[in-house]
């Protein structure tokens, strides 16, 4: 009886002690709030928040005084500097970009309900989390425009060239995926050879078929092998072993046979598409299979598979070369007929019945330019004509050359010409 009474009496004291501790923690957080806030946002981007649900994230955001639209729409805008020229080597580029972004965002007086927050992720990269509540009409567009307008002005004063990668829209839980999309868009040489680059994931149309999957099935392997065999340089089949084999050493014969069967089925598909006989490849396959049957221990199948890949590349490329010129003509025709639409690179590749990586490789091999750069240049030439010959405003011209975002149009126009569209028109 007395124990129960004592416990009941102690409960308010424990609660007061817990509340005092929470108050102390809140005060400590407040003293270093910017650091905690930055860490929280970086964890959201990198997927390091564990299995926190939306309500837990909302409470954490409130603790760090971050007005996060939990049920809203989000994008990630990734900024990468390519080295300034104003001699401030003691200040990391990411800090300079952060400072300029925050200044520009303050100047632009963000609309209520929009969330735009820059977060440094490395010495030369800053990710901008762009969000809006569901109740805002065209909120995604307004938030993206506000962010891109701030990005435009980060190079004022000049001397800090910034490349930009923009993800597709998603929800709060998608932030790590959106960050990965923006990072892929920015990868040098993936879609654009320009520096600085301005690549929007929406313009690529990339889907899960274009991103290597961990599933070791025939369809995934066929896509991966097609990319390897039709790449600009000789294929490095070692990239297959870590994904479809086990480890980096010789494979156990069971694993080697599994990989060989997958590889054989994938190559048969590619040869059937090209209408090429499997003759020499079949002999290599049978020879390797018999070797696996004859040996009890692990067998190093890599040299044999590299010979198979080399033979397949020679035979399939020889068969495709006469068709590559026609594919390039068809791609140019699609661009000419559909540049006014928000067409993606994926849709262009589908139009010539090729994978995106294969179409891009063929186009660059024949023209010396990436497909994204060609589409952008074509649109910019049409935009120049409209600027010279019409009185259309910038938003109207952007729509007529296939861009829903006026800021995206201005960024790309400046990258191609060195001038803002309005400056170009004024100089005529």
194-234 tens-digit pLDDT: 878 888 988 888 654 444 443 345 566 666 777 677 665 66
Least confident of 1-5, 160-164, 286-290, 347-351: 1-5
pLDDT at 10: 64
High-pLDDT (> 70) share of the chain, %: 71
How does residue 335 score in pLDDT terms, banded at 50, 70 and 90? very high
Tell me if 353 is assigned to some domain. no
The domain spanning residue 171 has which CATH number? 3.30.70.270
Q: Return the higher-pLDDT residue of 245 and 123.
A: 123
Torsion of CA 48, 49, 54, 57, to 10 degrees: -120
Decide if 368 contacts 427 (C-beta within 8 A).
no
CA 25 to chain CA centroid, Å, is 38
Q: What integer best gives the mean pLDDT of the chain?
A: 77
Decide if 292 contacts 299 (C-beta within 8 A).
yes
Q: How far apart are CA 91 and CA 253, in angstroms?
A: 55
Tell me if 89 is assigned to some domain. yes
Least confident of 33-42, 202-211, 243-252, 344-353: 243-252
Helix 356-367 and helix 218-229, axial crossing angle in degrees, nearest 10: 10
pLDDT at 115: 85
Tell me if 192 is assigned to some domain. yes
Of the residues 154, 180, 209, which one is the last residue of a structural domain? 209
Q: Return the higher-pLDDT residue of 315 and 115.
A: 115
Residues 6+ apart with CB under 8 A from 130: 74, 75, 76, 77, 114, 115, 116, 143, 144, 147
Of the residues 182, 209, 236, which one is the last residue of a structural domain? 209
- Six-digit token string for 79: 């900024």
pLDDT at 21: 67
**Phi, psi at 204, each rounded to 5°:** -85, -45
Whether residues 295 and 416 fall in one domain? no
Range with the largest mean pLDDT of 320-324, 358-362, 379-383: 379-383
pLDDT at 140: 79
Tell me if 239 is assigned to some domain. yes
Structural domain count of the chain:
4
364-417 tens-digit pLDDT: 878 888 899 999 999 999 999 999 999 999 999 999 999 988 888 988 998 888
Q: Is the pLDDT of residue 94 over 90?
A: no
Boundaries of domain holding 302: 218-320
Tell me if 292 is assigned to some domain. yes
How does residue 339 score in pLDDT terms, banded at 50, 70 and 90? very high
For 322-334, what is the mean pLDDT? 85
157-197 tens-digit pLDDT: 666 778 889 999 998 888 999 998 998 888 766 788 887 88
128-151 tens-digit pLDDT: 898 888 776 677 788 888 888 888
Whether residues 201 and 240 fall in one domain? no
Whether residues 166 and 81 fall in one domain? yes
Whether residues 257 and 124 fall in one domain? no
Q: Is the model's pTM score more than 0.75?
A: no
Decide if 74 contacts 172 (C-beta within 8 A).
yes
Q: Is the pLDDT of residue 269 over 70?
A: yes
Of the residues 192, 209, 226, which one is the last residue of a structural domain? 209
Tell me if 328 is assigned to some domain. no
* Residue 200: how many other CB atoms lie within 10 Å: 28
For 122-129, what is the mean pLDDT? 85
High-pLDDT (> 90) share of the chain, %: 16
Pairing mode, strands 125-132 and 198-200: unpaired
Least confident of 47-56, 84-93, 117-126: 84-93
Whether residues 306 and 380 fall in one domain? no
Whether residues 195 and 243 fall in one domain? no
Whether residues 98 and 86 fall in one domain? yes
Residues 6+ apart with CB under 8 A from 105: 116, 118, 146, 147, 150
Whether residues 40 and 77 fall in one domain? yes
Whether residues 97 and 198 fall in one domain? yes
Question: Which residues pair with residue 125 across a beta bridge?
Answer: 80, 122
Q: Return the higher-pLDDT residue of 286 and 279.
A: 286
Q: Which of 424, 420, 415 is nearest to 389 (CA)?
A: 424
Tell me if 173 is assigned to some domain. yes
Least confident of 19-33, 103-117, 171-185, 286-300: 19-33
Q: How many CA atoms lie within 13 A of 169 on its CB side?
A: 14
Q: Which of 132, 137, 129, 134 is nearest to 112 (CA)?
A: 132
44-60 tens-digit pLDDT: 888 877 777 777 888 88
Whether residues 195 and 247 fall in one domain? no
Whether residues 292 and 382 fall in one domain? no
Helix/strand/coil percentages in the chain, nearest 5: 60, 10, 30
Tell me if 205 is assigned to some domain. yes
How does residue 348 score in pLDDT terms, banded at 50, 70 and 90? very high
Whether residues 61 and 121 fall in one domain? yes
């Amino acid at each position: 009886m007395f124990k129960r009474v004592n416990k009941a009496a102690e409960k308010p004291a424990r609660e007061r002690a817990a509340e005092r501790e929470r108050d102390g923690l809140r005060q400590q957080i407040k003293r270093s709030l910017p650091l905690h806030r930055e860490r929280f946002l970086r964890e959201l981007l990198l997927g390091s928040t564990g299995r926190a649900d939306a309500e837990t994230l909302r409470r954490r955001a409130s603790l760090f005084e971050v007005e996060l639209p939990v049920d809203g729409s989000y994008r990630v805008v990734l900024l990468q500097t390519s080295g300034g020229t104003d001699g401030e080597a003691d200040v990391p580029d990411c800090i300079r970009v952060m400072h300029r972004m925050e200044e520009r965002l303050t100047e632009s007086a963000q609309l209520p309900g929009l969330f735009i927050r820059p977060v440094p992720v490395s010495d030369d990269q800053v990710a901008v989390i762009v969000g809006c509540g569901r109740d805002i009409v065209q909120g995604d567009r307004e938030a993206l425009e506000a962010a891109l307008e701030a990005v435009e002005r980060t190079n004022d004063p000049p001397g800090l060239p910034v490349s930009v990668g923009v993800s597709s829209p998603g929800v709060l839980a998608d932030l790590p995926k959106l960050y990965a999309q923006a990072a892929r868009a920015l990868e040098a040489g993936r879609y654009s050879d320009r520096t600085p680059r301005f690549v929007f994931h929406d313009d690529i149309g990339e889907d899960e078929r274009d991103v290597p999957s961990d599933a070791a099935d025939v369809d995934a392997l066929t896509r991966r092998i097609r990319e390897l065999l039709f790449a600009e340089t000789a294929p490095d089949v070692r990239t297959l072993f870590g994904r479809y084999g086990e480890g980096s050493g010789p494979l156990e014969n069971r694993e080697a046979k599994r990989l060989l069967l997958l590889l054989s089925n994938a190559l048969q598909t590619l040869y059937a598409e090209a209408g090429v006989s499997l003759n020499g490849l079949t002999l290599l396959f049978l020879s390797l299979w018999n070797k696996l049957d004859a040996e009890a221990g692990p067998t190093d199948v890599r040299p044999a598979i590299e010979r198979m890949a080399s033979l397949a590349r020679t035979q399939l490329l020889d068969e495709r070369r006469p068709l590559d010129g026609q594919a390039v003509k068809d791609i140019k025709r699609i661009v000419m007929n559909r540049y006014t639409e928000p067409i993606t690179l994926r849709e262009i590749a589908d139009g010539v019945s090729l994978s995106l990586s294969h179409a891009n490789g063929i186009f660059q091999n024949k023209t010396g330019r990436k497909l994204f750069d060609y589409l952008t240049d074509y649109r910019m030439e049409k935009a120049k004509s409209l600027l010279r010959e019409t009185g259309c405003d910038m938003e109207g011209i952007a729509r007529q050359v296939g861009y829903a975002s006026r800021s995206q149009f201005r960024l790309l126009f400046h990258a191609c010409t060195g001038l803002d569209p309005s400056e170009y028109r004024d100089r005529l």
